[in-house]
Structure 1
């Protein structure tokens, strides 16, 4: 029972307000871009600026892009999730293990729900907004960063910087790979990144609330 009472939150208290505000802003960006590019089948102005020097890269950068892209494919994503869940359980962080599955799953699921609603397409009519690959890797990075923040006991500023830094690195890496391979427009990647920023903090808060409610019932 003591272990249950001392179970740490997956959304560290010092970060709750700031990440809540960031999540709300990210959700507005997702909706705004979705409305702006609804039904489009070509890059926007911003997409063109970024896409021109990145799209269609050759070796060795293409190999790096393919390797990064694999991390968002079913086999690669499943491997990352299993490895991260195992690490959370070894560290005795069951809430974090739940968040790994729920956070990444809901982030990717949200992109799948939004794609037909927005209807933006690329290459032969493939739905593209927002990028599920970018949402997945960003969501996983967010969960790992939240776990590290809690274990290291970081305060609001350091914790927020770590979480946002991890999300930025993961999102930029996968976003670059998707654009380089011609799978997404840059704004699709931005939408996927913001989807993860909106979904993961909300999911972490929900995991904590459900876990705390279950603990109260066991008393």
Structure 2
């Protein structure tokens, strides 16, 4: 299977073409991978770019497996079907949640300092990530933004698993996705370059906007 995108920046430029009708949106990128996707979108559309910090809640024996997520300003969201299959309760994950909340607070401080998110009420808000596998992190982000009562809420990603897109449509006004390929295993498989980003990379990209 070939790559769909050379890198996150190219994916963001292509995604911007699908979002071109928006006016003065607030674009909230999920760091770290969503930030380089969001930068070309804001360059094309204008509006305001900021980060919306989320953290995956991992299954303790295999932390890479996300069983939930937490977003700044929101409550933890869990994949209840997966937790049932694994025999997990929310109490079993209390230490993991506490650890991820500490890291979330650290990243919010690193990326925004004392600055707060812009007011979202009544605004057109676009949540951007580099792709959706299980979608639990995006779900936590969408619910946190929805609580602020935006005028319109859109989730925009270059690539996603088909079932995940279907499951998230109820959380937002629109899901804009460029590709939902079969054989979806991980987001990175659809990018030629999918390197890990540092906090410094995120800050540099935010300054470039």
Query: TM-score scaled to structure 2, two decimals?
Result: 0.26
Highest RCO, 1 vs 2 (Cα 8 Å, sep ≥ 6): 1
Query: TM-score scaled to structure 1, two decimals?
Result: 0.26
Structure having the larger proportion of residues in strand: 2
